[in-house]
A and B are shown apart, each in its own frame.
Chain A
Amino acid sequence: MKNTALFLILRRMRAPLLALIVVYAVSVLGLVLMPGTEVDGRPQHLSFFHAFYIMTYTATTTGFGELPAPFSDAQRLWVTVSLYISVIAWLYAIGALIALLRDAALRQLIQQNRFAAQVRRLNGPFFIVCGYGDTGSVVVRSMIERDLGAVVIDVNQDSLNELMLENLPVHVPALCADARLPGNLSLAGLNHPHCRGVLALCRDDQANLKIAITARLLSPGLMVICRAQSHDTEANMESFGTDAVINPFDTFADRLALALHSPDMHLIHEWLTAMPGTPLPERLNPPHGAWVLCGYGRFGKAVERYLEFEGAPMTIVESDPEKTRAPRDVIVGRGTEAVTLRAAHVEKAVGIVAGTDDDANNLSIIVTARELNPKLFLVARQNERENDAVFEAARLDLVMQRARAISRRILALITVPLLTDFLRLARHQKTDWAQGLIEHLRPVLGGVAPDLWTVSASAEEAPALEEWLRAGNALPLLHLLQHPHDRQERLHCLPLMLQRGREEHLLPPEDFPLQPGDKILFCGRTGEAARQRRALHNRIVLHYLVSGERQAEGTVWRWFARHTG
């Protein structure tokens, strides 16, 4: 595989090289045989060395003249002939070489080799991202920011050009190829020891399905996360053990329903999954009452299902009820006209969802509806990323963007897997639990979306902590929250969940005793994770946090401390 390009070049250069050798041989031999000028009545012959020298500068059209002595006419005749044939042979050889270098197949081969070499050299954990669209670009950028590597495959060269212009701090190997072919996935490092998983984020559900199956079969240990837009594909992917199937429509509808059901729980979700460092999202208060849903496509259906579960009455507006198999009481129309919206009783509704697959229509629905009822809660689906500015200007309460809806979930899954468990468990809690957590989080976070990280009490990740616990010493969780410089001070972080084997403890109290093998999910301000890590790695820091004494470091100081003591 490695040297295919070289072999191809050599094989294709055979004929031109043979032509060159033969032409040179004939010209040189002829030049040697041609009688030269006579000296003492005997014609002088050129030696092979001189003949080769003359052909060298003649064939390349350099033409130094008649060296080393003036030629005889016989020699001139031969030089004329050989000049023409050798120049033609040279042109042929160079032409063939250039044609070879411009050959699309060869260039692709060279690109593939370069890509494979870059992937082989990766020495940190990485994910293979198939499909570099809106979602892919957000995910890749965030992965890089969290020190995770990425390898990108996309069929479209334009998308990859965008990746090149992204100006990421780390080089991301990218290949323009069909990720559905197993060979390309292997090339991207499916069997690389550092490969953690595959993210199938193509536009095409079928392609994602094929990628998931391939990854599952060729490298069973890897995490596979897929994007799916239809429930058929979703079920199919889940059937063979895909780790997570993410449907952007369902994800969004679920969040909307959650906001309706419990604004506090929704706020916790938003805070914990926001991009770290961005301002904390505001609380969303969708009103309770009747809703109008425009567009009964995949998105509309998802919203209807989730809102129905929440018990919100709903009127559906759809222009093509036949095709979308809408229920019978649907209002036929696009929803962009006041007539249709009035028929849907928009004046009495509390909220409207503009969910067609056309951005212009969605905006038009929103604007018309707002004129009819200024108090409406406005939700719109944005299909094209280019329309960011317009949707922002429309001052909507909630915008559904496919990329935004799923990229955060994917990131949570691959960077802090415990977060997904935490959010799942949190859902079952009461409203006052959520309110309590919000009050608890607010001062800790200080208005900025938090970093999330996991501490596991294992020998690799927290050697000092593990050693301490193995020795049978007790260690309450409290000590992981103290500042390593001054134990009276607290780190700006909060333990969200502790996982011990199958057991999960939500919001463990500060006196919770740790055990080896525990995994703890923290959220906190940027930089606190690094401070906390010092206690996990350094025995002396940990000792200080527990006892308040600073131990002497190093043999000499320890001896000194013992003897002065």
Chain B
Amino acid sequence: MNIEKVVFSFFIVLALTLNFGFFLGELDNPLHHNVYELFAVIVVNLIATVLKFGERSQMGAVLLATSLVADLELIAAALVWTFAVHINGTGVTPEIMGTIISLAGGALVANIISVVLLVIEISAQRR
């Protein structure tokens, strides 16, 4: 067992599950989506991205790309939230929440691809 692999897989799966948890609930209902959860998703995603740095294989490159996509969408979601609360002052209305969750949904797909690739890589090594 390789401790590095454990940590690596742990963060990738954690990023996916947290992202899913935040995504879960009614699409435009602000009560179903927690700001702390979004924060956690962003932090874990960033950590997962850095862990993928410096892999020279083709698989490593694609893994890094999916992570960067997820980061981009999640940060966009956080910016939308910040705009709504602090700059426009409208607060998190159902429309705003809809936008945020759409972005988080996009990130979720990227994270799913990431995990699928991880599983493929592992099964390829087994054979």
Contacts and interface: CB of A to CB of B under 8 A. Distances in A.
A388 to B, nearest CB: 52
B50 A49 contact: no
A42 interface: no
Contacts of A11: 53-54
B86 A18 contact: no
A8 B86 CA distance: 40
Interface stretch (A21-29, A214-222, A341-349, A488-496): A21-29
B85 to A, nearest CB: 6
Q: Size band of the A side of the interface?
A: 20 to 34
Contacts of A8: 54
A7 interface: yes
Interface in B71-113: 78, 82, 85-86
A197 B86 CA distance: 68
A3 B39 CA distance: 33
B43 A18 contact: no
B54 A17 contact: no
A13 interface: yes
A10 interface: yes
A22 B54 contact: no
Residue in A12, A28, A47, A49 whose Cβ sees the most chain B Cβ within 10 Å? A49
A340 B22 CA distance: 101
Contact of B43 (A10, A14, A17, A25): A25
A32 B78 CA distance: 15
A18 B50 CA distance: 7
A32 B56 CA distance: 39
B35 to A, nearest CB: 6
B82 to A, nearest CB: 5
A11 B4 CA distance: 14
A198 B65 CA distance: 43
B69 interface: no
A22 B47 contact: yes
Interface residues of B, number: 15
Nearest to B54: A11
Given A21-B46, A47-B85, A49-B85, A10 B54 contact: yes
Interface string A383-403: 000000000000000000000
A49 B82 contact: yes
Interface string A21-48: 1100100110010000000000000011
Which 4 residue pairs across A and B have the least CB separation, nearest first?
A11-B54, A10-B53, A25-B43, A10-B54
B85 A13 contact: no
A13 B43 contact: no
Nearest to B56: A7
A32 B36 CA distance: 10
Interface string A345-373: 00000000000000000000000000000
A14 B53 contact: yes
Nearest to A24: B43
Interface of A: 3, 7-8, 10-14, 17-18, 21-22, 25, 28-29, 32, 47-50
A153 to B, nearest CB: 27
A278 B114 CA distance: 71
A48 B51 contact: no
A14 B55 CA distance: 11
Interface string B15-57: 0000000000000000000011001000100110011011010
A49 B43 CA distance: 14
Contacts of B86: 47, 49-50
B47 A48 contact: no
B72 to A, nearest CB: 16
Contacts of B85: 47, 49
B70 to A, nearest CB: 15
A28 B51 CA distance: 21
Contacts of B82: 48-49
Contacts of A17: 50, 53
Contacts of A22: 43, 47
14 contacts: A7-B54, A10-B54, A12-B54, A13-B53, A14-B50, A14-B51, A17-B50, A21-B43, A21-B46, A21-B47, A48-B39, A48-B82, A49-B82, A49-B85
A13 B56 CA distance: 15
A493 B37 CA distance: 87
B47 A18 contact: yes
Contacts of B53: 10-11, 13-14, 17
Contacts of A3: 56
A169 B78 CA distance: 56
A22 B44 CA distance: 9
A21 B15 CA distance: 15
Nearest to A18: B50
A8 to B, nearest CB: 7
A21 B50 contact: yes
A171 B53 CA distance: 36
B80 to A, nearest CB: 12
Nearest to B60: A7
Nearest to B78: A48
A18 B54 contact: no
A18 B51 CA distance: 8
A48 B35 contact: yes
Nearest to B83: A49
Contacts of B35: 48
Contact of B39 (A12, A13, A28, A50): A28
Contacts of A12: 54
A18 B56 CA distance: 19
Contacts of A18: 47, 50-51
A25 to B, nearest CB: 4
Contact of B54 (A14, A25, A48, A50): A14
A7 B56 CA distance: 7
A489 to B, nearest CB: 67
B34 to A, nearest CB: 11
Contacts of B54: 7-8, 10-12, 14
B97 to A, nearest CB: 16
